[in-house]
Amino acid sequence: MQECFADALKHYFPDHQMRGMRTAGSPDQRIRCLKDASPEEFTLGWYSTFIKYKKNNLGSIMAQLGYEVYDRQWWDDFRAKLFECKNRRNDCCHTKLFRWENLETLLKTIFAASESEHHNRIDGLIYESKVGLLMKEGER
């Protein structure tokens, strides 16, 4: 996600304010502009929340770049799949009871195509993340 989206989002939304991560020894979260964010602040959860609130803007950007297929609805479907991935990843990779079915679901979310609740086909996140690279190419 970082390789595909971070630079493009910094370019198109430089002044968007995001909560910074806590630094060692500091109990507070800093608020910073997206253009100043470090790579580790772009978490799966952050992307999901950002897309939830910016899907209209993202759809407009993609339309201006000539990629009308990546409209508001596509971003909403992508966000839903990303949110599922975040939850499955947390189930598998954090310190709580781990079930093998969660790993299988995580891998399917990352790599396999599925149908969204809006009956749109959306490929695995690894493949669909190429959209960020299309946005980045549009910066030039």
Task: Please indicate, yes or no, if residue 32 is contained in any of the structural domains.
Answer: no
The structural domain count of the chain equals: 1
Task: Please indicate, yes or no, if residue 20 is contained in any of the structural domains.
Answer: no
* pTM, full prediction: 0.83
Long-range contacts: 99-104, Cβ < 8 Å, 24+?
none
Task: Please indicate, yes or no, if residue 16 is contained in any of the structural domains.
Answer: no
The domain containing residue 92 runs over which residues?
Answer: 43-138
Question: 125, 85 in Cβ contact below 8 A?
Answer: yes
Task: Please indicate, yes or no, if residue 76 is contained in any of the structural domains.
Answer: yes
Residue 119: pLDDT band (50, 70, 90) is low
Residue 89 φ/ψ, nearest 5 degrees: -65, -45
Q: State the pLDDT at residue 77.
A: 93
Task: Please indicate, yes or no, if residue 59 is contained in any of the structural domains.
Answer: yes
More confident residue, 122 or 19: 122
More confident residue, 139 or 130: 130
- Above 90 in pLDDT, residue 76? yes
